[in-house]
């Protein structure tokens, strides 16, 4: 079965900007089937709408399925994993500029119901390979979130990049080799 990777953008993001086109091309050159999803209404995101889109796009889920997420795309995939049936398992998740709390934005309230609590045990029952990539100068998501989310809750490998800001579409990050390397390592 062919390994599939889904690229998940964040709030106000796009599948064809920033480092995602480069990563898609590199992964395809390495034999992966890659879909860079265009999540609905990225400027006014709603969790259920995004989850529905991901469910429809992924189709049959298996352990050859991987996700590379950016910013709000990370909490979306964590909520996706929470929603899976008990027997479902994916191959891994690479989280770029990830966080697990609202960060104070009322626009993101639907992503953090019930005071934002996540069922970490359920999430880990569906995936046991996580990599966190953060930047030392991210103006929105401090390294504290990466350390907390990935070391405390998920036990992920933690990669700290220098001077990559938020890895956003306007941050002039057109390549992200650490994300490529993380997927290649996960799939060995």
Count of structural domains within the chain: 1
Which CATH number belongs to the domain containing residue 67 in this structure?
3.40.50.1820
Q: Which range of residues forms the domain containing residue 65?
A: 4-186
3-state secondary structure the chain: CCCEEEEECCCCCCCCCCCHHHHHHHHHHCCCEEEEECCCCCCCCCHHHHHHHHHHHHCCCCCCEEEEEECHHHHHHHHHHHHCCCCCCCCEEEEECCCCCCCCCHHHHHHCCHHHCCCHHHHHHHCCCEEEEEECCCCCCCHHHHHHHHHHHHCCEEEEECCCCCCCCCCCCCCCHHHHHHHHHHCC
pLDDT (tens, 9 = 90+) of the chain, 188 residues, equals: 799 999 999 999 999 999 999 999 999 999 999 999 999 999 999 999 999 999 999 999 999 999 999 999 999 999 999 999 999 999 999 999 999 888 888 999 999 987 778 999 999 999 999 999 999 999 999 898 878 777 778 888 999 999 999 999 889 999 999 999 999 999 99
Q: Which sequence positions are flagged as catalytic? A: 71, 138, 166
């Amino acid at each position: 079965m062919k390994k599939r990777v889904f690229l998940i953008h964040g709030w106000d993001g796009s599948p064809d900007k920033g480092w995602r086109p480069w990563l898609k091309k590199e992964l395809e050159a390495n034999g992966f089937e890659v879909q860079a999803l265009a999540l609905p209404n990225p400027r006014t995101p709603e969790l259920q709408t995004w989850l529905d889109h991901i469910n429809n796009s992924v189709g049959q889920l298996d352990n050859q399925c991987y996700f590379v997420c950016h910013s709000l795309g990370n909490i979306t995939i964590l909520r996706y994993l929470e929603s899976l049936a008990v027997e479902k398992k994916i191959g891994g998740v690479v989280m770029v500029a990830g966080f697990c709390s609202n960060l104070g934005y009322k626009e993101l309230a639907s992503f953090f119901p019930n005071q934002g609590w996540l069922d970490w045990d359920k999430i880990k029952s569906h995936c046991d390979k996580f990599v966190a990539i953060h930047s030392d100068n991210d103006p929105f998501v401090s390294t504290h979130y990466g350390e907390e989310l990935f070391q405390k809750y998920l036990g992920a490998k933690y990669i700290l990049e220098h001077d990559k800001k938020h890895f956003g579409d306007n941050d002039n990050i057109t390549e992200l080799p650490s994300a490529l390397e993380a997927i290649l390592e996960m799939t060995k």
